[in-house]
A and B are shown apart, each in its own frame.
Chain A
Amino acid sequence: MSMFGNPFNGKMRLSRGCECGQHATQEDHARAFRAEAVDTATAGEESAYRRVVEAAVMRAIFPHDATRRAFLNAAGASTAAAALSTLFPIAAATDVFAQAAKLERTDLKVGFIPITCATPIIMAEPMGFYKKHGLNVEVNKAAGWAVIRDKTLNKEYDAAHMLSPMPLAITMGIGSNPIPYTMPAVENINGQAITLAMKHKDRRDPKTWKGMKFAVPFDYSMHNYLLRYYLAEAGLDPDKDVQIRAVPPPDMVANLRADNIDGFLAPDPVNQRAVYDGVGFIHMLSKEIWDRHPCCAFAASREFVTSAPNTYAALLKAIIEATAYASKAENRKEIAAAIAPPNYLNQPLTVVEQVLTGTYADGLGQIKRVPDRVDFDPFPWESFAVWILTQMKRWGQIKGDVDYKGVARQVFLATDTTKVMKEMGLVAPSSTTKTFSVMGKIFDPDKADDYLKSFAIRRDS
């Protein structure tokens, strides 16, 4: 009797060529077994576990296949199942079994930067998503992107919150030694904004921004690419007409107050914090540049993925489950309360709440209601990676020919995510690429080079 086989199948034949007797040959058996495993997996993890437990119980009560068949034929499968569950607490055993999936190790450290992009990674700790998957995860706050990169490369962190271009940059060896990196899940989509100093409240047209100084959190960030894209669309050359510098998020508000910068495209809660402290206003949300753009990501080294596959799977499940929970608007207030304290974001609750619920003060006296100001969707579309690579090339961060799809597939583990999402009963997209539009311009991942050439302002020759 196979592990995922139905133990209440009384018609199972015992004297044929394969180990369970159901199939003519061992190959047939293996094929059927695989097919059933997929069925069971798609039906949700609970039922998969239940099936395994039931099979084990039946085998224990009726060690001989012939006796079991006789019993099932006499009593009927459903009666047998009911009888069995009175004898043995199958539901409880299933839970125990689900908990006890063999993890290579359970104590993990995950690094994060205190911004709302990291919401799924952070909330999974206080709200018990890691525990549910048998993991004891310590989430550690890191001081900046370079630090989080170095600490993950040093293996002080097993996995980390990164900006989605970072795993691509690390894998390709830009700004660090090349180390194969993977990005099995996007954390948040949207959730960034362009904030300007109060003195610019009448200068809303980007064409008039020549000579301004902007901050972005990191060179390899969606923020940098989106801001450059936005400025270039307005006819400004981001390298010549304005200044863009990398400033750690906590310094941004202080720099804005001190008049060192004119604005920034930053992750929240920094934008909302600038409004809260009365130093800036939200010029536009990043969703107005590219709706449902990826921002931050959950990243792990390929070595961790291959050396501890079960732990990795459990961690990914916890993150995806947290992401799914965070994507529901009704949970947002509860999440805000869980992640605002000093141990995590260390921000006033109302600031975090405004970011997550999308009902916020814009700094100019208006209350805006944008429920999808930030949203959470774990699926790492490979086309996101291709777009990021085109922008890296556009601004001269990478030179020469790029195998867009190859790099994208190697780093953005869309197939893994699909598998995990299906196992968990979530709806996963059937494809790993899609087209989307950025400021009204369609991006087709199959024509990346043409897309790149269509821009007038770019650094690649």
Chain B
Amino acid sequence: MLTSLNQRALIVSLLIFGVFLLAWHLATQGSGSVQQMDPEYAKLMGLTATKGTSAMPGPLDVAAKIWEHLKSPFYDRGPNDKGIGIQLAYSIARVMTGYFIAVLVALPLGFLIGMSPMMSKALDPFIQIMKPVSPLAWMPLALYTIKDSSISSIFVIFICSVWPMLINTAFGVASVRKEWLNVARTLEVTPIRKAFTIILPAAAPTIFTGMRISIGIAWLVIVAAEMLVGGTGIGYFVWNEWNNLSISNVIVSILVIGLVGMVLDQILAMFARMVTYPE
């Protein structure tokens, strides 16, 4: 029954995809009005104006573009024109740096907050205010104080991805079952041993959920940050193609951003499964 369920889901998925592609293809067929113009004048104009080609690319254009990028993902023609693979590598490197700094800060701090109700109450207002701030709101401040655009984007990733991890760690640590802690107390386990052998394993699934939310946010943030500061990265790639009004390339980047985000998410989901325990 399970396989047949999977098969049926797959068929429906493919069907939706097919209908979507067909609708897209039909919607972008040239239908704009075409004016008669002098051939010399027409040479100076784009296809949208001369042939009524839709400004929106169809699925075939996008497929051709994808193929073009897949053929040479790592070309480097100067500081402003690099292959999509190189741009992705820049973005991933930035995300990882910011994210790991956030992990290094959020986990110990989360432990502290989770184990001390007083600290939890004291820090709560700050966390609540900082948490909903948009990444782009941090950017000017970061650029102004850090004075380096690349470090600024890493900082913005850090500041945006630290909160979900912090809150989840604190929550996970605080909600370790009282019986387990009481057992530890009767056995006179040292605080450090208690933290590593009881609290950490117990809170791990919640912590990983927080980390999973955070990596998603970090990946969302990097695109916005790179669009703003330019230079390198997938966000810059989107911006550069937008500058050229090349919608096919923008669609390609959207697909690529989605794929990479999914892979990052699945990696953390895998870690989360490894530490899950049955109650």
Interface residues, chain A, with chain B CB atoms under 8 Å away: 114, 138-143, 147, 150-151, 153-156, 249-251, 253-254, 257, 273, 275-278, 341-344, 346-348, 350, 354, 360-361, 365-367
Could you say which of A139, A249, A250, A343 contacts B77, with CB atoms under 8 Å apart? A343
Instruction: Give every chain B residue within 8 A of A254 (Cβ-Cβ).
Output: 242, 245
CA distance A257 to B48 in the complex (A): 12
* CB neighbors of A among B10-60 (8 A): 32, 35, 37-38, 40-41, 43-46, 48-49, 55
Is the CB of B3 closer than 8 A to any CB of chain A? no
B residues near A257, Cβ cutoff 8 Å? 55
- Kindly identify which residue among B55, B228, B230, B236 contacts A277, using a CB–CB cutoff of 8 Å: B55
B79 interfacial by beta-carbon distance below 8 Å: yes
Pairs across A and B, CB under 8 Å, 6 listed: A141-B79, A141-B230, A156-B147, A250-B245, A275-B49, A350-B43
Contact with A along B135-164 (1 / 0, CB 8 A): 000001001100111000000000000000
Q: Is the CB of B242 within 8 A of A250?
A: yes
The CA of A257 and the CA of B239, in the complex, are separated in Å by: 18
Please provide the 8 A-B residue pairs with the shortest distance between their CB atoms, ordered closest to farther: A278-B49, A343-B81, A143-B230, A250-B243, A154-B147, A361-B44, A343-B78, A276-B46
Given A276-B46, A347-B244, A361-B41: A342 and B55 within 8 A (CB)? no
- Of the candidates A153, A251, A346, the one having the most CB atoms from chain B within 10 angstroms of its own CB is A346
Contact partner, B48, options A143, A153, A277, A346, Cβ 8 Å: A277
Name the B residues within 8 Å of A347 (CB-CB). 244
Contact of B227 (CB < 8 Å), options: A141, A143, A156, A361: A143
Tell me the residues in window 236-259 of chain B with beta carbons closer than 8 Å to chain A beta carbons.
236, 239-245
The closest CB in chain A to the CB of B228 belongs to: A143
A154 near B149: Cβ-Cβ < 8 Å: yes
Contact of A143 among B44, B147, B239, B241 (CB under 8 A): B239
- Cβ contact within 8 Å between B230 and A142: yes
Closest chain A CB from B239 CB (angstroms): 6
In the complex, residue of chain A having the shortest beta-carbon distance to the beta carbon of B144: A150
Q: How far is the CB of B225 from chain A (nearest CB, A)?
A: 11
Q: How far is the CA of A99 from the CA of B80 in the complex (A)?
A: 28
Closest Cβ of chain B to A367, distance in Å, is 6
**B144 lies within 8 A of A346 (CB):** no
Instruction: Indicate if the CB atoms of A273 and B245 lie closer than 8 Å.
Output: yes
B242 & A139 in contact (Cβ 8 Å cutoff): no
- Of B45, B227, B244, which contacts A342 at CB under 8 A? B244
Assembled-state Cα–Cα distance A193/B236 (Å): 27
In the bound complex, residues from chain A placing their C-beta under 8 Å from that of B73 are none
| Nearest-neighbor residue (CB-CB) of A364 within chain B | B41
A346 to B240, alpha carbons, bound, how many Å? 8
Give the complex CA separation of A281 and B276 in angstroms: 63
**Is the C-beta of B201 less than 8 angstroms from some C-beta in chain A?**
no
Q: Is B229's beta carbon under 8 Å from chain A?
A: yes
- The smallest C-beta distance from A128 to any residue of chain B, in angstroms, reads 14
List of B residues within 8 angstroms of A346 by Cβ: 81, 240-241, 243-244
Note all chain B residues with C-beta closer than 8 A to A350: 43-44
B residues less than 8 Å from A354 (CB atoms): 44
Which of the residues B140, B149, B245 comes within 8 Å of A253, measured between beta carbons? B245
Q: Using A150-B144, A257-B55, A343-B80 as known contacts, say yes or no to A360 and B44 having CB atoms under 8 A apart.
A: yes
Q: Report Cα–Cα, A277/B50, bound state, in Å.
A: 9
Verify B231–A140 contact, CB threshold 8 A: yes
Shortest distance from the beta carbon of A325 to any chain B beta carbon, whole Å: 20
CB-nearest residue of chain B to A275? B45
- List A contacts of B147 (CB < 8 A): 153-156
**With contact pairs A151-B149, A155-B147, A277-B46 given, residues A141 and B240 touching in the complex (Cβ less than 8 Å):** yes
Q: CA of A138 to CA of B48 in the docked complex: distance in angstroms?
A: 35
With known contacts A156-B149, A365-B37, A140–B45 Cβ distance under 8 A:
no
Output the residue of A151, A155, A253, A361 with the most chain B CB within 10 A.
A361
Contact of B81 (CB < 8 Å), options: A153, A273, A342 = A342
B267 CB → nearest A CB, Å: 30
B79 and A140 contacting across the interface, CB-CB below 8 Å: yes
Residues of B within 8 A of A142 (CB): 230-231
Bound Cα distance from A114 to B46, whole angstroms: 20
A253 vs B247: C-alpha distance when bound (angstroms)? 13
- Tell me, rounded to whole Å, the shortest Cβ–Cβ distance linking B51 to chain A: 10
Q: How far is the CA of A250 from the CA of B140 in the complex (A)?
A: 21
Q: Closest residue of chain B to A155, judged by CB?
A: B147
Chain A, Cβ-Cβ closest to B241: A346
* A123 CB → nearest B CB, Å: 13
Partner of B49, one of A251, A276, A366: A276
Which of chain B's residues have a CB closer than 8 A to the CB of A250? Answer: 239, 242-243, 245
Contact of B228 with A147 in the complex, beta carbons under 8 Å: yes
Which residue in B49, B228, B243, B245 is a CB contact (below 8 Å) of A114? B243
> Which of B37, B49, B140 has the most C-beta atoms of chain A within 10 angstroms of its own C-beta?
B49
- New A-B contacts (11) at CB < 8 Å, excluding given A346-B81, A361-B41, A361-B44: A139-B79, A139-B80, A142-B230, A143-B236, A251-B242, A277-B46, A277-B49, A342-B80, A346-B243, A354-B44, A365-B41
Q: A153 contacts which chain B residues (CB < 8 A)? A: 147
Q: How far apart are the CA atoms of A343 and B76 in the complex, in Å?
A: 10
- In the complex, the answer to whether A156 meets B148 with C-beta atoms within 8 Å is yes
Shortest A247–chain B CB gap in Å is: 13
User: Across the interface, do A138 and B49 meet the contact criterion of CB distance under 8 Å?
Assistant: no
Closest CB of chain A to B207's CB: distance in Å?
36
Pairwise interchain contact B148-A154, C-beta atoms closer than 8 A: yes
